[in-house]
Amino acid sequence: MSEIHWMESFGGFDDFLIYLGISATLMIAFVAIYIKITPYHEIALIRAGNMAAAYSLSGTIIGMAIPLSNAIKFSANLIDMAIWAVIALVIQLLVFVIARVALPHISEDIPADKHSAGFFLGAISVAAGMLNAACMSY
């Protein structure tokens, strides 16, 4: 039986760091875009203890992380991953648009800390992310 060297365990570490760095950058870009398109300031609301904003933004981040993780897992290369990540980003941004159609007052309800509105937006973001990810696993 051949001896396994501990260095073999780190064989893909450079690729890991590249994918982690790119996916973290994409996630940061998504959150930055998302908080720019919403008419309220999630971070300030969360710092002030607004749970509706916390539910909403947390669900949105999870909803993006799910398809982003699938884009990493099923992509052929970094370009492929980035393309699928951008598709996921667009779909997750559309979720907010859909939520505004379904609940026209959501833009006022979340700053007013109406938990149900924040939870609804967070939940549909996670659901959309799950469906988005499943569709990537061709």
What would the pLDDT profile of 38-66 be if each residue is shown by its tens digit? 999 999 999 999 999 999 999 999 999 99
What's the one-letter identity of residue 106?
I
Specify the pTM: 0.88
Instruction: Tell me the pLDDT band of 11, cut-offs 50, 70 and 90.
Output: confident
Q: Is the pLDDT of residue 5 over 70?
A: no
* Helix axes 51-74 and 115-136, enclosed angle (nearest 10): 0
Tell me, what DSSP letter sits at residue 50?
-
Residue 2 lies in a domain: no
Residue 1 lies in a domain: no
CA pair distance 114, 95, nearest whole angstrom? 19
Q: Look-up: residue for tokens 């996916």?
A: 23
CA pair distance 73, 80, nearest whole angstrom? 11
Residue 58 lies in a domain: yes
**Could you list the residue range(s) of the whole structural domain that residue 127 is in?**
19-136
Domain count within the chain: 1
